Structure 1
Amino acid sequence: MTSPLVFIDGDQGTTGLQIHARLQARRDLRLLTLPAAERKDPRRRAQAINTCDIAILCLPDEAAREAVAAIANPAVRVIDASSAHRTQPDWVYGFAELNPRQAERIAGARRVSNPGCYPTGAIALLHPLLQAGLLPHDIRLCIHAVSGYSGRGRSGVEEHEGKDAGQACAFQVYGLGLAHKHTPEIRLHAGLSRRPLFVPAYGSFRQGIVLTIPLDREQPGATLDGAQLHAALTHYYAAADSVHVIAQNEARAMTRLDPQALNGSNDLQLGVFINEEHGQFLLSAVFDNLGKGASGAAVQNLDLMLTQWKN
């Protein structure tokens, strides 16, 4: 049987390059990419996407919508790494650990929307706690996150690694209009009924994310217990290969979180830090924005979809 043909549309961006690097040595699939002269040719791109078995879109949102609209072959399956379809009900959300059946849903899906980098950490923390009833769905939340500059794509890499790299800002908070495109995705897939306040930032390191969510024991609508929060996350991800919850004795000994600690991996590390005296808690997620936050998740979803292709 011929191995599946996988088309990476947008393989010159930060996510596309990483996906290509992860797949190029594999013998269980064939890769289709377009030469530089054809990457912006709508006719050639439409031909490529209708020829492949699975397309991975690493494109700006509008270009991703155009690529999907160009599909005439009903057999083509799609993984979209843009944010264009992440809140669309007819697309399967590509966070395999979201619930016990999500990996199965991804495996059988025709259309999979790869999660955003920040939402991966926020949803991984919040969804299990909301499901367990430990947090109310209408909780008021503030989510803080710092990503490496590769999260900005090629422009971020060029600013920090190009000829004017010495002038790059060491740290910058952005999204000051409080309308970041990841916020609806976090709200929907975490299961929140109230829009969270999301404050993102970039640091002067290439890749990696640390995301934190502060909580207070007397949170309106809930009386929180740090041990219960930790136990719920530990139980929820007990069988997950890529998601690890920091043990409480280890968390008590930690004094800092390194956003680059899991770079180069597809792992997601969650933590619950507890101050019993003041009744305050900090939820944390550390992962590679180009790993579990982008290309690693795309390859994970591809592998799930290939199990259906083989069968």
Structure 2
Amino acid sequence: MTEYVVRRLLAMIPTFFIVSVIVFSMVRLIPGDVVDIMVENYQYADDKEQLREQLGLNESVPVQYLTWVSGIVRGDFGESLWTGRTIMDELRYRLPLTLQLGVVSLALTVLIGIPIGILSAVKQDTAADYTARSFSILNLAIPDFWFATMVIVLPALWWQVNVSQGWVPFFENPFQSMGAILLPAIILGLSRSASVTRMTRAMMLEVLRQDYIRTAQSKGLGAFQVVSRHAVRNALIPVVTVLGLQVPAVLGGSIIMESIFNLPGTGRFMLDSIQQRDYPLLQATTMVFTVFVMFTNLMVDIAYGFLDPRIRYA
């Protein structure tokens, strides 16, 4: 296992650089020029070339890329073109919020999706099964942005209540910090739990039809023991794969949730950088998200070995 993990970590290095080239190139294809926007909005001097030189945009694209990627290797993401602040300082403040939102929403995805999927499979073709399936379809059908907007607008219209709270770092005030991200985390968790519920149900139904399950039942084991000891563990491997695929979805959803609930996280930071054509900022946040996805895929592969000891990595 250790050798496999080391190989995977080494394989991430070329993947990281390939993604960095793609990200750098795609960012440069965004319509609009940051210099034109800065001149228009902030009344800079008319000498655009001087401003472009100051921001380092006069260099050739390959030189800009090499400068940027060499900074990343040293742990330096550069500075924002708009504020002049180092991107690392911004990420130190904003990244914990996005991580907190992602962890809570994924935890809710697991706590909602897996139990409902198991119940739906065990109670196949009963009222509980139909209710669980309808619940998952409803969660798939409702768009996150619409649900989040209604959660904010309706209480404000009906009861004059502002459900959007100011976020503070967790260790400063845990209750206020969790309260600020609870609603967006629930919305993300509900929508992501739908696919987990459906996959859990499908795999549980397949496992419950296996011979070893009938053997366990013939030995006199109760339904709870059969499900918890024999069925669930064997059904979870594809479910873990689906959970791994939810990480990019949660990161993408955090951009919407942070914008709607006015949370100062990395997702909203990324959206602002797109609107302002802040190239270093957009590149840095995208690469941070890329690293999270790569490590999540590694953790999913490692989890396979714990769920099924028969899986070996050569």
- Structure 2-normalised TM-score? 0.24
Judging by fraction of residues, say which structure has more strand.
1
Q: Flag the structure with larger Rg.
A: 2
Q: Which fold has the larger relative contact order, with Cα–Cα distance below 8 Å and residues 6 or more apart in sequence?
A: 2
Give 1 or 2: higher helix fraction.
2
TM-score (norm 1): 0.24
